[in-house]
Structure 1
Amino acid sequence: MKAILGRGKFPKNSIINIGGSKSESNRLLILKAQFQNITIKNLSESDDTNVLQQGLKTVNGTVNVHHAGTAMRFLTAYFAAKEGAEIILTGSSRMQERPIGVLVDALNNLGADIQYLQNEGYPPLKIKGKKLQKRNVAVQADISSQYISALMLIAPMLPNGLEITLKGKTISKPYIEMTLSLLKQIGVQANFHNNIVSISSLDKIEAIEIIVESDWSAASYFYSLVALSEDLEITLTSFSEDSLQGDAALSSIYKKLGVQTVFNTFDNSISLSKKNKQLPDSLKLNLTNTPDLAQTVAVTCFGLGIACELTGLQTLKIKETDRLSALQIELTKLGAVVHIDCASIRIRKSTQLVPNVIIETYQDHRMAMAFAPLALKTPLRINNAGVVSKSYPNFWKDLKKTGISCELLKTTP
């Protein structure tokens, strides 16, 4: 499917109902698999969450997570600790290029039985579930926080709980804090202090209903739209000022780009509007804690003619695609001058956008959604537009509500 985008007729204020956070939903599903009396409301409708739900129904056989990296990591840990499970865990060709050795080593050190079926350190995996008796494990913390969250989420089902020592600089720390908060919310004793995460074992919990907050990562594309507009106003539901999600940093990041966020406590919505049109010549951000915002911020800055330097992006090379390289290629098509290294991207100030460019998505949902707001500045096309279903199936429909002209065309395989 191809998306053809351009400027349309803009309403005074559009209201967008963004679905539940994929990050919260996936963590809660692993916890619900252990404690059936957890009720989850506003669950994410993303492909990743659907894949995880289906995977959790399997005890013996093959589970294919396709492109879902979170599902791969969380299910690796879950099945390793589930007695009697015998699973082949696999994914797409790209998933089989994404490293998982740090997590597998940690689990095997705890007594798990996980084998590589093809390449050492990468899926597919053969997992035989066992009772993991050991309590202590050390994990490299500067590669992916999902390895750590995967271990944290299975800690309540381990007979002796779990103590995780984090080695190196911890990246994406808000996601670890999110996992910790959800564990505490259901009644698990857990703490994170001096690079050590300690979580107690738990047999049962009181019945609890948890409402998943809407996805701040998905909200980023509407922040970008407002930033790139003259006077666009958008209301997003349902968001909290004291969010568990690290990407809630959007409100402060985009304030620098002229977007005002008003938190409406009466209905848990946020109202976005363009207020400050005196923008800086350049923007420098360390996104170690919020790497999923990098693509959106980079495209916004380019569209506004602002130079930017984004650092702390070492995880982007092992995502759905090598996101730094993909950004460089696609922004260069549009006329940008871009420099990347292993953990950063720098974009020179530019006032010219090449029109009618075709953006490739590289099987990466965030590439499609991050570039879409540029339709406010220049007509463009986005190939493989259906990839947004990975995290935000209704994205193109919601984009139209803001006034963007969006025509979706089926393409032949």
Structure 2
Amino acid sequence: MPYRFYHPPFETAGKTMNAPYVQLIQQSLSDTVYVDLPTSKSISNRLLMLKETYHTTLKIKNLSKADDTLLLEKLLLDIQTHSTEDDPVKRIHTQNSGTCFRFLCAYLCVKKGKWLLTGDTRMKSRPIEALVTAMQACGAKITYKEKHGFPPLEITGQECLCPPQNIEINAEKSSQFVSAILLILPLLKKDIVVKISHLKASKSYIEMTIGLMQKLGIDVSMQENIITYKHTDSPAEIQSIEVEYDWSSAAYWFAWVALQYSTKVCIKKLRKSSLQSDAVIEKIMYPFGLSLRYTREGLWIEKKFDKVPPSFTYDCSNHIDLVPVLAVLCAALEVKATLKGIHHLSYKESDRLQALYQELNKITTVKYTKNTLKITPVSKSLSSAPCFASYQDHRIAMSLSLFIHKYQTIYIENPACVSKSYPDFWENLRKTGIEIRS
């Protein structure tokens, strides 16, 4: 693919959400920036499902406003209000939300009615066979409507699904297959053991699901790759729960500070003790010279030390969403890097492995295998400001914005995609003093 270094037309100022490009221009940076993070969509989505399957009166405080969560909330309402008399087969469109598709795939199997579960073109290329196979073994009626192993699906929901005591699930392609099953266990009304095979990445997200279930009083536990669920008809132990602020979004600000000395950042309301595995970014970023301090205002991050590691190696298998930001950080600092445990990247909102390969090779040298991404610093002279493709992927777009510290001007395509997880990202970026044109 040829490099696309060109200047697209733009208009000054205004909202960036519907613009085909956003132009970032390096200006005098602010001394101090207070950042308002979104709340965790991963936690929000799991709590929305548990409200449907276990605790219908649960009050969820601080629910995420990310596109994924708003979509799931809407689809659950559509499912609840669906009338088979008006529409014998209800179409449920999840767009390109893998979370919505996987969670609803399991849920619709135990929701009486006929359902056509579908998504956009990218969603139809994301594998679903392992979850379908596991649900079919539980007695679910699921048919592939196009290509075997992929969306869309026709599901005939049954309120009285009779699963075996032991459910087996292959998690090679996604840990969300496991979470999808866990989230409907209360509706199966029996003790169940879930046996996970080929769990190569993102075990931490399964642990998040279990942690939230336990907070609500559900008797579920995990030992190695075996999950044990004990059914009870007793009422939930709590009536409300508050969603944490999002550590995956915080990672961009850690990298932002690591790339410059001008700005210190205060991330408001971020919890040090968290169900989110991406809180490990605190430890990951230690070699990059950051100073961290928790106060009542929030977490203060400041570049204190002139410190850049000569090389950086990290196993990202349990922190797969951090790969784009870590890859861009190392490329921008010209640090030789090896990121391991990344094979799940190909099944995300975009093929993130291919996206990083294409975009980072515009300014450095990147190679990858199925499970490893390697960055070898090479300075490439550019004839004009680089224009980066976002692949309609929120984490790719936000990560690539970090290159504003390496170049005075950059362009990023399709900036609206950040609303999937961090709707106010560009507005927060403006606070730093970066000029944003669209």
Normalising by structure 2, we get a TM-score of 0.89
Deviation at 1:351, TM superposition (A): 4.8
Q: Deviations over 1:255-310 (max 9, x none)?
A: 1222222233x35x211111222211110000000011001000001111111000
Query: Does 2:259 align with 1:228?
Result: yes
2:101 aligned to 68, 72, 77, which one?
Answer: 72
User: 1:298 aligns to what?
Assistant: 327
Query: Does 2:140 align with 1:112?
Result: yes
Aligned partners of 2:283, 2:330: CA distance in 1, in Å? Answer: 15
Aligned partners of 1:110, 1:257: CA distance in 2, in Å? Answer: 49
User: 2:348 aligns to what?
Assistant: 319
Higher RCO (CA 8 Å, separation ≥ 6 residues): 2
Query: Does 2:54 align with 1:54?
Result: no
Aligned partners of 1:381, 1:390: CA distance in 2, in Å? Answer: 20
Aligned partners of 2:316, 2:290: CA distance in 1, in Å? Answer: 19
User: 2:115 aligns to what?
Assistant: 87
1:267-286 alignment, distance < 5 Å: 267=297, 269-286=298-315
Structure 2, unmatched stretches of 5+, are 1-18, 83-89
1:131-146 alignment, distance < 5 Å: 131-134=160-163, 135-146=165-176
Matched residue type, 1:234: V
The Cα RMSD (Å) is 1.5
1:2-401 alignment, distance < 5 Å: 2-34=21-53, 35-59=55-79, 60=82, 61-82=90-111, 84-130=112-158, 131-134=160-163, 135-203=165-233, 204-264=235-295, 266-267=296-297, 269-333=298-362, 335-351=363-379, 354=382, 356-378=385-407, 379-401=409-431
Secondary structure of 1:239's counterpart equals: coil
On the 8 A contact 2:38/2:245 being kept in 1, the answer is: yes
Matched residue type, 2:195: T
Deviation at 1:373, TM superposition (A): 1.5
Deviation at 1:200, TM superposition (A): 2.5
On the 8 A contact 1:138/1:164 being kept in 2, the answer is: yes
Q: Deviations over 1:377-409 (max 9, x none)?
A: 21110011111111111110111112222112x
Aligned partners of 1:353, 1:224: CA distance in 2, in Å? Answer: 24
Residue range with higher mean Cα deviation, 230-239 or 49-58: 230-239
Aligned partners of 2:238, 2:196: CA distance in 1, in Å? Answer: 32
Matched residue type, 2:254: Y
List, as ranges, runs of 4+ consecutive aligned residues in structure 1 with deviation greater than 4 Å: none
Aligned partners of 1:358, 1:45: CA distance in 2, in Å? Answer: 29
Residue range with higher mean Cα deviation, 125-134 or 281-290: 125-134
On the 8 A contact 1:66/1:91 being kept in 2, the answer is: yes
Q: Deviations over 1:210-244 (max 9, x none)?
A: 11111111111111111111242111122111110
Q: Deviations over 1:155-201 (max 9, x none)?
A: 11112143110113442111111101100001100100131111233
Residue range with higher mean Cα deviation, 195-204 or 269-278: 195-204
| Closer/same/farther in 2, CA of residues 353 and 89 from structure 1, 3 Å limit | farther
Residue range with higher mean Cα deviation, 19-28 or 134-143: 134-143
Secondary structure of 1:45's counterpart equals: coil
Aligned partners of 2:308, 2:175: CA distance in 1, in Å? Answer: 33
Aligned partners of 1:202, 1:270: CA distance in 2, in Å? Answer: 40
User: 1:411 aligns to what?
Assistant: none
Normalising by structure 1, we get a TM-score of 0.94
* Matched residues, number: 404
On the 8 A contact 2:175/2:199 being kept in 1, the answer is: no
Matched residue type, 1:108: Q
Aligned partners of 1:298, 1:225: CA distance in 2, in Å? Answer: 13
Residue range with higher mean Cα deviation, 228-237 or 102-111: 228-237
**Greater Cα radius of gyration, structure 1 or 2:** 2
Matched residue type, 1:162: I
Secondary structure of 2:292's counterpart equals: strand
Deviation at 1:352, TM superposition (A): 5.2
Aligned partners of 1:161, 1:369: CA distance in 2, in Å? Answer: 43
User: 2:86 aligns to what?
Assistant: none
